[in-house]
Amino acid sequence: MDNNSPLGMNQQPGGMPPVPPQRPTTPPPPPPPEITLRTMQSDMQDLKQSGGAGSAPKPFTPPELKSDLRQSMTPPPMPKMPQGSLGEPRPAMPAGSAAPKIEAEAPKGGNWKKIVLWGGILIVIVAAGVAGYLFVYPALFPQVPPAPPAPVVTPVQTPTPAPSPMPAAPVTAPATTTATSTEATATTTLSATTPAPAPAHVSLLASVANTIPLTISPLDLVTLKAALQTEAQKLGATDTLTEVTLHDANDQMLTAGNVMSAILPDLTAGTVTNLFNADMTTALYKDANGVWPVYILQLSTTASQVAAQPTVTGLESSPNLANLFISAPGAAAATAFKSGTVNGTATRYMPYTTTGASLNIAWSGTKLVISTSYNGVKKVLSDLK
């Protein structure tokens, strides 16, 4: 190369390396606006600087939001209309092409499944309820049939036969006695039940020396003893039985229940009535030692000796046994009743300190004999019907 030739454009003298061409520089973007935060301290400084007028708020909009606001405010371009859309007829459909079919959307199968499911559940619940009402409930709570009404029983009234007239007895001057007994009197409580009229008296003795009617009114122990004592004074021969029939003020026969309960208050009239006939036989036996009452009762057809024996045995412990005598028998000569026999008949007896006084109780068949002397029970047992 010729050293005299001028230097190339990109060459530097003195063998310096070429300098690359400089590119145009782009100016830097402006700095972003200063963003400050308001605080209480900054507000106080502004108030001092402005003399109390306060600082006006400074709006700030970031650059990114400015570009977005410009784009949102620019209306979108109008769509281009295809050719032939304004007043021009639409091109005809090519021959042979079918019009598009618009098919209705078929209902989804899930709804039917839910309907069938809930319907089946409802049917099962109803069937279970019916089965429980018809089968389970009756088995757990069976109905108890009501008790049948009690039958109405109409009692049959049997006419009571009129009492037959009493047999005629020897006429004796009635004795009106107002004797006063020296023994202690007993208070008698009579049964409140009015017994039926007593039937005609039938004596349980085969033979007696005499029969005397006595009126006992009122019926109590004092009146009864006084009447018997009066008749005892009239008796003559010894070893004889005299029957006395006891009547009330209306000439009605006194029943066994009322007479025995008046003598022994611990023996009720109802108990006697349930075991023995209403008609009883009362007699006075006279011997050399005095006059001794005898009481004879007939067992009723509805009772038995076995049923009556507890009541008879209970008499042995009665505190009123002295009432059976018409005069004081003295003290008991034994601590308890003894067993014996009279003419082959078993007896239970209690001796007393008064001569001839002995309480004897004996059964002769269906007849109960209560005698206040040993000689008297021997006489009666041999003279019963």
- Write the pLDDT tens digit of every residue in 274-310: 999 999 999 999 999 999 999 999 999 999 999 999 9
The Cα–Cα gap between 204 and 245 comes to 12
Single-letter amino acid, residue 130: V
The reported pLDDT for the residue numbered 114 is 86
Count of residues making up the chain: 385
Cβ atoms of 247 and 216 within 8 Å: the answer is: yes
Max distance between CA atoms of the chain, in angstroms, equals: 222
Instruction: Give the residues of the chain that fall short of pLDDT 70.
Output: 1-26, 32-38, 51-110, 144-199
The reported pLDDT for the residue numbered 47 is 76
CA atoms within 13 A on the CB side of 105: 3
The reported pLDDT for the residue numbered 208 is 86
Cβ atoms of 243 and 281 within 8 Å: the answer is: yes
The reported pLDDT for the residue numbered 106 is 52
Prior bond of 59 cis (ω within 30°):
no
Q: What is the DSSP track for 2-24?
A: -TTSPPPTT--GGGPPPPPPPPP
pTM more than 0.75: no
Cβ atoms of 275 and 303 within 8 Å: the answer is: yes
